[in-house]
Amino acid sequence: MKKKIPYGEQNFERLRKDNYYYIDRTEYIEKLENLDEKYIVFLRPRKFGKTLFLDTLGKYYDINYKNKFEELFGDLYIGKNPTPLKNEYYILYMDFSGIQTENKDILIKSFKNNVIASLVDFNNRYNLELTIKEEYSEPADIIRAFLTDTKDILDKPIYLLIDEYDHFANELLSFNLDLFRDSVTKHGFVRKFYEEIKKGTKTIIKRIFMTGVSPIMLDSLTSGFNITMNITLEKEFNRMLGFTKEEVIELLKYYEIYSDKLLKEMEENYNGYKFNPDAKETVYNPDMVFYFIIKYQRGKKPPEKIIDDNILSDYKKVQNLFDLGELLGVAIENNKDLSKEEREKESAKRIIGELLNEILLTGKTTLPELTTIFNPGKRIETKDIKSLLFYLGFMTFEREGIRTYLKIPNYSMRKIFSDYFTEYIEEKLTDIIDTGKIEDAIISLLSEGTIEPFVKEIENILKKLDNRIFMGFDEKYIKILMYSYLVLTSLAMVKMEYPVEGGYVDIAIFKRYEEVPYEAIIEIKYIKQNEYTESKFKEKIVQAREQIERYKKSYELNSKNEKMKKFIIIFVGKEAKLVEEVE
C-alpha cells in the first residue's frame, strides 16, 4: 500500500507509525547539536514544516521516548548516527499561535493561559506535580515559580521548544502598534517572561529551539534575553525545511504521476526559495507540494486553484501588516492634524505603494542589507518592509555578481501580489465592478481567442478610477492592471515581461490544460490623453507591430501551436483606441 501524503500532519510519531511519506531531515538534528550555540532561533515562512520539525526534535530528545527510539528513528539518518544527547531531556513545549489580541487584558490572560496549559501538559507527560501558580497574574511569575520548583526535582535538564514565538505579535502590528510596544518592550509582560526563561538557562533549561516567521520581536525580546543565536540565514541550514527538486521528482515518481510537464508546473508555482543569497539550491514550499499531489491524484490533472485555500488564508492574514497605501503613486498629504502614529502609517503606506509597484512590474527589488533585528521604537524604513516580505515568504534572495536582490520566488506568490493590487483598485473605484464579467471575458479569450471583451472590462475599470490617479499614470500601470486581472484565471499561467529571443513580451498567456484552445501574447502601448497626436498614435502602432513580429520568430513562441493569438492594444487615456490581432 502506498504511503499516505502527510499534508498538514505535524505529529512526528503519528507520521512515522501511520505509514505517511517522510522526507528525512534528521541529519539537521546532528548539525544543530554540534553547534556551539545551545539557544537557537530559526525563522521560516508559514506552512514550511516548522511545527513538524520542532516535534521531531521533541521526540528525539525526550526521555519518555527512549524505548521508542528504534521504532521512530531507526531507519533515518539520526537513527543510524545517534548523537550523545538523544533521549536526555525533559521536553517543555510552548506554542504561541492562537493568542487572543483584542486588548491588553485579553492578551495577557490568553498568554498566561497558554503558558499554564504548557506547564500542565509537562506535568501530565512526566507524571509530575511541579508548582503551577495559576493564581499569579503575570506569566513571568508563573514560569519563575515553575522553574524554581523544577530545578530541585528533575534529574535531567529541560529542552525548551517554542513554536510561533511571534504569532500574536504579527497580529498586533497590523492593528494595535501601541499594545505591541507596550507588551514586548522594556517593561512589557512578554519581555519579563523571557527574562525568566533566561534565568532558567542558568539552572534547568539547557537547550532552546524557537521558531517563528519574522524577527519583529527579537530586538525587544533579546534585549533582556540576549542568549539566542539566530541561524535563519545560515547557508548550512538553507534546506533544513522545504523540498529540493530531486525530492519532489522522487515524490512524483513514488506516486506514479511524474511527467516533465507536471514537474515544470510545480517548479513554477512552488519552488524558488533561498534563505541565504549564496545557497546553491532552491527549495519548494512543502505544504503546497503535498496539496498539489493530493489534488492531482483526485482529479487526474493539476488543481484549478494553484494555492490551497488553507494556505492562502494564512498568507492573506499577513496582508494587514502592509497597508497597501497609494499603489498608483498619488502623493499623501502631510496632514499636521494626524498623530505621530498616523503619520508613521501614512509614510509606510507611501513606501509600500512605491515598492509594490516596482515588485509587480519587475518581479524583484534591490536589497543592500536584510534587516535581522526590528526595533519597534524606530520609524519603519524601506529596507524593513523589504525584509518582512522576505521573512513572510513573498520574496526570496537572488544574487547577481556582488549585488543582492529580493525577487518573487514563484507564480503563487506573484498571484498573491496581484490579488493585493486588484483589491486596492476596487477600493479606489467610484463604482463597484463585476469580477464575474472579467472572468467571463478571460474565458472568452482562452476559449474563443477574442480579447475585446476583456479590454472592455479594463476600460470600464479605468473609467471608474479617480482622475487624479492618472497624473503619474503610464504604460507600466496598464500592464500591471491587465496582468493582475488576467491571473484570476486558473486555466492559464500568465507572465508579465516574459523573456523571449526578440525581447520581452508585455503579457504572455500559456494554457495549463490541454482542453484550453487558445494562448496569447499581448503588446501594450499607452499615450496620455493630453499628449495624444495622430502621428504619435501611428508611431506606437508601428512599434507594437514590429515587436510582435520579433517575438513571433522566437523559438518558444514559434514552436507553439497555431492557436497562439497575438494582439496589440493602444490605450489613449482611459480608452483602448486600438485593439488589433496580428497574424
Measured distance between the N- and C-terminal CA atoms of the chain, rounded to whole angstroms: 53
Residue 2: what pLDDT?
A: 92
- Does residue 440 sit in the same domain as residue 394? no
Residue 314 has pLDDT above 70, yes or no: no
Residue 255: what pLDDT?
A: 97
Question: Would residue 566 count as lying in a domain?
Answer: yes
CA-closest candidate to residue 191, choices 205, 180, 202, 204: 180
- Does residue 195 sit in the same domain as residue 57? yes
- Does residue 265 sit in the same domain as residue 368? yes
Residue 78: what pLDDT?
A: 98
Q: What is the spatial distance between Cα 122 and Cα 404, in angstroms, rounded to a whole number?
A: 45
Mean pLDDT, residues 178-193: 81
Q: Which one has a higher pLDDT value, 561 or 278?
A: 278
Amino acid code (one letter) for 375? N
For β-strands 396-400 and 403-407, DSSP reports them as antiparallel
Q: What percent of the chain has pLDDT over 70?
A: 88
- Residue identified by cell 464575474 is 436
Domain-terminating residue out of 360, 377, 407: 407
Domain-terminating residue out of 213, 237, 261: 237
- Neighbour tally for 93: CB within 10 Å: 18
Residue 152: what pLDDT?
A: 87
Residue 563: what pLDDT?
A: 85
Q: Which residues contact 531 (CB under 8 A, 6 or more apart)?
A: none
- Does residue 227 sit in the same domain as residue 254? no
Q: And the C-alpha cell for 131?
A: 508548582
CA-closest candidate to residue 476, choices 302, 358, 343, 314: 358
Q: And the C-alpha cell for 2?
A: 502506498
Element (H, E) at 396: strand 396-400
Residue 325 has pLDDT above 60, yes or no: no
Number of domains in the chain: 3
266-270 — which CB contacts under 8 Å span 24+ positions? 266/292, 267/410, 268/410, 268/411, 268/493, 269/306, 269/410, 269/411, 269/412, 270/410, 270/412
Specify whether the CB–CB gap between 131 and 153 falls below 8 A: no
Q: What is the dihedral of CA 452, 457, 460, 461, to 10 degrees?
A: -140
Question: Would residue 419 count as lying in a domain?
Answer: no
- Give bridge partners of residue 39 from the DSSP assignment: 208
Specify whether the CB–CB gap between 10 and 19 falls below 8 A: no
Mean pLDDT, residues 108-121: 95
Q: What is the spatial distance between Cα 361 and Cα 434, in angstroms, rounded to a whole number?
A: 25
Residue 547 has pLDDT above 60, yes or no: yes
Residue 330: what pLDDT?
A: 34
Question: Would residue 30 count as lying in a domain?
Answer: yes
Q: How far is CA 9 from the centre of its chain?
A: 19
C-alpha distances in angstroms, 486 versus 306, 365, 387, 514? 14, 23, 28, 19
Specify whether the CB–CB gap between 130 and 123 falls below 8 A: yes
pLDDT digits (tens, 9 = 90+) for 194-227: 999 999 999 999 999 999 998 888 776 666 667 7
Q: Residue 111 belongs to what domain range?
A: 12-237
Phi then psi dihedrals of residue 392, to 5 deg: -80, -10
Residue 468: what pLDDT?
A: 65
Domain-terminating residue out of 372, 407, 442: 407
Q: How many CA atoms lie within 13 A of 207 on its CB side?
A: 25
Question: Would residue 4 count as lying in a domain?
Answer: no
Q: What is the spatial distance between Cα 338 and Cα 340, in angstroms, rounded to a whole number?
A: 7
Mean pLDDT, residues 398-424: 88
C-alpha distances in angstroms, 221 versus 131, 160, 161, 188, 440? 25, 16, 16, 10, 51
User: ∠ CA 41-43-46 to the nearest 5 degrees?
Assistant: 145
Q: What is the spatial distance between Cα 415 and Cα 556, in angstroms, rounded to a whole number?
A: 23
Residue 348: what pLDDT?
A: 60
CA-closest candidate to residue 101, choices 160, 178, 161: 178
- Does residue 568 sit in the same domain as residue 484? yes
CA-CA-CA-CA torsion sign (239, 241, 245, 247):
positive
Q: Which one has a higher pLDDT value, 175 or 366?
A: 366
- Does residue 399 sit in the same domain as residue 453? no
- Does residue 183 sit in the same domain as residue 52? yes
Residue 317: what pLDDT?
A: 58
Residue 148 has pLDDT above 50, yes or no: yes
Average pLDDT over the chain reads 88
Residue 382: what pLDDT?
A: 79
Residue 292: what pLDDT?
A: 96
- Does residue 351 sit in the same domain as residue 446? no
Q: Which one has a higher pLDDT value, 470 or 178?
A: 178
- Does residue 81 sit in the same domain as residue 205? yes
Burial (CB < 10 A; 0-12, 13-18, 19+), residue 562, is exposed
Question: Would residue 5 count as lying in a domain?
Answer: no
pLDDT digits (tens, 9 = 90+) for 434-463: 889 999 999 999 999 999 999 999 999 998
Residues 151-190 as b or e (16 or more Cβ within 10 Å = b): eeebeebbbbbbbbbbbbbbbbbbebeebbbbbbbeebbb
- Does residue 297 sit in the same domain as residue 171? no
- Does residue 261 sit in the same domain as residue 231? no
Question: For the residues of 560-579, what is the DSSP string, one character each?
Answer: S-TTEEEEEEEEETTEEEEE
pTM as predicted: 0.90
Specify whether the CB–CB gap between 32 and 46 falls below 8 A: no
Residue 299 has pLDDT above 60, yes or no: yes
Residue 343 has pLDDT above 80, yes or no: no
- Does residue 220 sit in the same domain as residue 269? no
Question: Would residue 271 count as lying in a domain?
Answer: yes
Q: What is the spatial distance between Cα 372 and Cα 376, in angstroms, rounded to a whole number?
A: 13
Phi then psi dihedrals of residue 141, to 5 deg: -65, -35
Element (H, E) at 54: helix 50-61
Residue 40: what pLDDT?
A: 95
Residue 83 has pLDDT above 80, yes or no: yes
Alpha helices, DSSP H, located in 87-235: 104-126, 139-150, 167-175, 177-184, 189-200, 218-224
Angle between helices 177-184 and 167-175 (to 10 degrees): 140
Identify the CATH number of the domain in which residue 122 sits. 3.40.50
Question: Would residue 548 count as lying in a domain?
Answer: yes
Q: What percent of the chain has pLDDT over 90?
A: 62
Question: Would residue 498 count as lying in a domain?
Answer: yes
Residue 256 has pLDDT above 60, yes or no: yes
